């Protein structure tokens, strides 16, 4: 890393560069009460592809502080940004990535018409334009009140003496521990207590110098620069409404969310670096990624346009209907089945944005390879439907170990493999997602006829409940779908314990006739699956018998147990 000094309006700015200077320049601007070190992990990743520059803003790190409160006004902060840009990239515009107060001051520079040709793109994280906020608060609503409650510290920083004492005698010493406990930021050396105390005390001048003047007299601040807004969903300081409806000010706008807290650049550096890279490359002429296309504001799209959906067991029945339902709503679909021909038929029916794979979900290695192949060829899925399953009937005492193994391998282990392989991709992708596990009404409806099958589906039900809790922090939803009697080919392929081949054929034919008489089509189950993903529903019984059994199992479980024993 190369360090240097740039002088701007009487302040000496400490500037740090890394990466190849012949590549596009990315200028990183930190917030309060950080220094350029806040960007360390993100900068290291960006430096592989860009010339990366960061600097300590006024009064922080090794940058000097202005002599008066007026020296912290936004116009001086914007001049600092442009002075650094001119010094490190005099012949080409820079791409700006900023966080918190870094974003606030970057908005000031980006919305200055004279800078339009010097800033190629702007990615803002957790730092709105103060003028935009001022206009927004002039239309009071519950959202503005909620944001004001989240911004309590601004009023505190305007108090005399007390905020300084808090920083000097408590906050400065405990800042790293506080971030770790409250916001999940990894603790690391590099910002010792004396330094953070100084930066915290100096940085309060940012609030004192700017909030009252801007709130009293907001300006119309617009920009033609392409703007990407990244919103951490668990931000305790900047609520979602402040990042929405910005097209009035920035017509070239993309908005993305990360299931993270305020200091997302430190907790999720890979995700922030990837989002910034995708945006910068697109602005520089490369095609937009699926995720970036989905983030573009003002585009009219189908409900699942620019989303990738994976369906296992998609060669027939509920799986095929589900793949077609998502495709109809604009999704790109990946279908897998143990039978490649039927998977290919589904893909052909789904249209040009569909792909077929042959996969045995009972094989852990095959599913892991399938997930890796999908990620490499198509990207990380937004939705995964673990639908593959087989039927089995007969008394538990008649079931052989081999029959148990066969059913559990597909119905339970197949779901486990899918959840693990694709869940890991979704977590690493950092943009959430949704997993759908197809269970059954048999999961909560005891019977002497389907013991093995019911056990496998009950395990899927509990697996989904546990997984839902585990993946919530990563923004990945989990839905459990519980169909009843659905007219698919599962009845014709169900195996039976303890009967002859001829009797098994007779029972399969009888079951098929019964399912046909019930005549509940798989398309209705598929519609419920699509609705569950859109509404992020947890448990979805499908068919009247499934819904009745679900209610009865919760209110009168002894009734179901008694009926199971009698019939």
> Would you please indicate which residues are annotated as catalytic (active-site) residues?
453
Which of 149, 185, 156 has the alpha carbon at shortest distance from 38? 185
> Is residue 214 classed exposed, middle or buried when 0-12, 13-18 and 19+ CB atoms within 10 A define those classes?
buried
Please list, residue by residue across 238-265, b when 16 or more beta carbons sit within 10 angstroms of its beta carbon and e when fewer do.
Answer: bbeebbeebeebbebbbbbbbbbbbbbb
Distances in Å between the alpha carbon of 100 and those of 184, 210, 223, 245?
17, 14, 19, 19
Which of 214, 262, 255, 258 has the alpha carbon at shortest distance from 238? 262
Distance from C-alpha of 353 to C-alpha of 331, rounded to nearest angstrom: 8
**What is the phi-psi region of residue 475: left when phi exceeds 0, alpha when psi lies from -120 to 50, beta otherwise?**
left
In the Cβ-directed half-sphere of 463, how many Cα atoms lie within 13 Å?
24
Q: How many CB atoms lie within 10 A of CB 149?
A: 9
The helix-helix angle for 414-429 and 364-377 (nearest 10°) equals 30
Q: What is the 3-state secondary structure (H, E, C) of 242-277?
A: HHCCCCCCCCCEEEEEECCCCCHHHHCHHHHHHHHH
- DSSP secondary structure letter of residue 158: T
Q: Residue 376 is inside which H or E element, if any?
A: helix 364-377
Q: β-strands 51-55, 11-18: how paired?
A: antiparallel
Which of 296, 306, 225, 226 has the alpha carbon at shortest distance from 255? 296
In the Cβ-directed half-sphere of 56, how many Cα atoms lie within 13 Å?
24
Strand segments (E) across 259-373: 308-312, 332-337, 354-358
Distance from C-alpha of 432 to C-alpha of 475, rounded to nearest angstrom: 4
Phi, psi for 447 (deg, rounded to 5): -160, 150
Distance from C-alpha of 392 to C-alpha of 396, rounded to nearest angstrom: 11
Cis before residue 122, ω within 30 degrees of 0? Answer: no
Q: How many CB atoms lie within 10 A of CB 101?
A: 23
Per DSSP, the residues of 115-131 read: GTTTEEEEEEES---HH
In the Cβ-directed half-sphere of 190, how many Cα atoms lie within 13 Å?
11
């Amino acid at each position: 890393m190369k360090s240097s000094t740039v002088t701007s309006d009487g302040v000496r700015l400490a500037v740090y560069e890394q990466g190849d200077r012949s590549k596009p320049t990315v200028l990183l601007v930190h917030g309060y009460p950080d220094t350029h070190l806040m960007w360390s992990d993100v900068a290291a990743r960006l430096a592989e592809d860009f010339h990366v520059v960061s600097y300590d803003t006024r009064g922080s790190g090794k940058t000097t502080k202005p002599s008066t409160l007026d020296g912290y006004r936004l116009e001086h902060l914007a001049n600092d940004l442009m002075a650094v840009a001119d010094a490190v990239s005099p012949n080409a515009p820079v791409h700006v990535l900023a966080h918190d107060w870094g974003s606030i001051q970057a908005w000031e520079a980006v919305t200055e018409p004279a800078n339009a040709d010097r800033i190629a793109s702007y990615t803002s994280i957790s730092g709105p334009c103060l003028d935009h906020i001022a206009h927004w608060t002039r239309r009071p609503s519950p959202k503005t009140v909620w944001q004001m409650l989240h911004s309590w510290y601004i009023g505190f920083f305007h108090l005399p003496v007390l905020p300084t004492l808090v920083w000097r005698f408590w906050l400065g010493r405990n800042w790293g521990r506080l971030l770790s406990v409250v916001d999940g930021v990894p603790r690391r050396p590099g910002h010792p207590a004396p330094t953070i105390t100084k930066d915290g005390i100096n940085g309060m001048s940012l609030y004192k110098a700017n909030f009252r003047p801007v709130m009293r007299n907001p300006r119309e601040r617009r920009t033609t620069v392409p703007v990407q807004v990244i919103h951490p969903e668990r931000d305790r300081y900047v609520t979602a409404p402040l990042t929405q409806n910005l097209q009035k000010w920035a017509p070239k706008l993309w908005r993305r969310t990360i299931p993270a807290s305020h200091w997302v650049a430190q907790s999720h550096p890979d995700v922030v670096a990837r989002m910034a890279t995708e945006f910068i490359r697109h602005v520089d002429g490369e095609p937009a990624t699926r995720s970036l296309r989905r983030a573009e504001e003002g585009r009219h799209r189908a409900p699942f346009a620019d989303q990738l959906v994976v369906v296992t067991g998609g060669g027939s029945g509920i799986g095929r209907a589900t793949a077609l339902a998502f495709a109809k709503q604009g999704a790109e679909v990946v279908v897998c089945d143990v039978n490649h021909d039927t998977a290919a038929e589904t893909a052909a029916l789904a249209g040009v944005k569909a792909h077929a794979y042959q996969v045995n979900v009972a094989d852990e290695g095959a599913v892991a390879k399938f997930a890796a192949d999908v990620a490499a060829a198509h990207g990380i899925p937004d939705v995964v439907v673990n639908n593959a399953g087989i039927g089995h009937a007969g008394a538990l005492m008649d079931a052989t170990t081999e029959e148990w193994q066969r059913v559990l391998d597909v119905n339970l282990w197949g779901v486990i493999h899918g959840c693990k392989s694709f869940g890991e991709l979704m977590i690493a992708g950092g943009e959430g997602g949704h997993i759908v596990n197809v269970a059954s009404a048999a999961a909560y409806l005891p019977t002497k006829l389907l013991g093995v099958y019911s056990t496998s589906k009950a395990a899927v039900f509990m697996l989904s409940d546990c997984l839902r809790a585990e993946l919530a922090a990563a923004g990945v939803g989990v839905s459990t779908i519980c169909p009843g009697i659905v007219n698919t080919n599962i009845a014709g392929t169900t195996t039976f314990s303890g009967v002859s081949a001829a009797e098994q054929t007779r029972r399969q034919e009888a079951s098929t006739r019964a399912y046909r008489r019930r005549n509940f089509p798989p398309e209705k189950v598929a519609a419920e699956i699509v609705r569950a993903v859109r509404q992020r529903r947890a448990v979805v019984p499908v068919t009247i018998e499934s819904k009745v059994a679900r209610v009865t199992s919760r209110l009168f479980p002894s009734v179901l147990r008694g009926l199971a024993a009698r019939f």
